[in-house]
Structure 1
Amino acid sequence: MGIKVKVVENGRLVLPAAIRKQLGLEKGGTLILEVGDEEVTLRSLEQVLDKVKATFAKYADLPGMSVDDFLANRRADSGE
């Protein structure tokens, strides 16, 4: 179920206090707005970063994907 919000002067949205609290938003907080075909999604910056971390976490244990492997490959490429 959706929550009704108003668009006020200059296109600003007024988010209810309960939503701000749920997202951990304080004055000056950052939201990421994603526009779909027929929808708009608001996520906190922390939610977006958590999603990105989860996406890349599955690659962390693959051979050759560590920082040490990367640096070793760079050294080898440069002839060190």
Structure 2
Amino acid sequence: MEAQRVKIVDGGKLVIPAAMRRELGITTGDTVLVDVDDGELRVRSVPRALERARAILRKYVPEGVGLADELIAERRREAERE
């Protein structure tokens, strides 16, 4: 989507154009993640941020492996050794 000019209003509020909100899948009252990346403001929906985090984890965790199950099993092995 092409960049659009928007104004910052009282209190530092920024109005995100409707088409961009639709593209991001955000609606009134939703919580978003906002950060500054290399001098630019970045706004992400929470579901999109979670999707990205899961994609990063998938690179390191084989399909079908449950990290919680792995942690529990590891803790049980440690407890047995004590």
The residue that corresponds to 2:78 in the other structure is: 77
- Partner in structure 1 of residue 38 of structure 2: 37
Length, aligned pairs only: 79
> 1:28 & 1:71 partners in 2: Cα distance?
37
User: How far does the alpha carbon of each residue in 1:40-79 deviate from its partner, in whole angstroms, 9 at most, with x for none?
Assistant: 11111111111100000122218x8744333222111112
Please, what TM-score do these two structures have when normalized by structure 2? 0.79
Equivalence for 2:59:
58
Q: How much is the aligned-residue C-alpha RMSD, in angstroms?
A: 2.2
Q: Which runs of 4+ in 1 moved over 4 A?
A: none
User: Identity rate of aligned residues, in percent?
Assistant: 34
Q: Which residue of 1 aligns with 2:23?
A: 22
Structure 1 7/46 Cα, relative in aligned 2: closer, same or farther at 3 Å?
Answer: same
Partner of 2:8: 7
Unaligned runs of 5+ in 1: none
Letter in 1 for 2:26: L
- Residue 28 of structure 1 deviates from its aligned partner by 0.6
TM value normalised by structure 1: 0.81
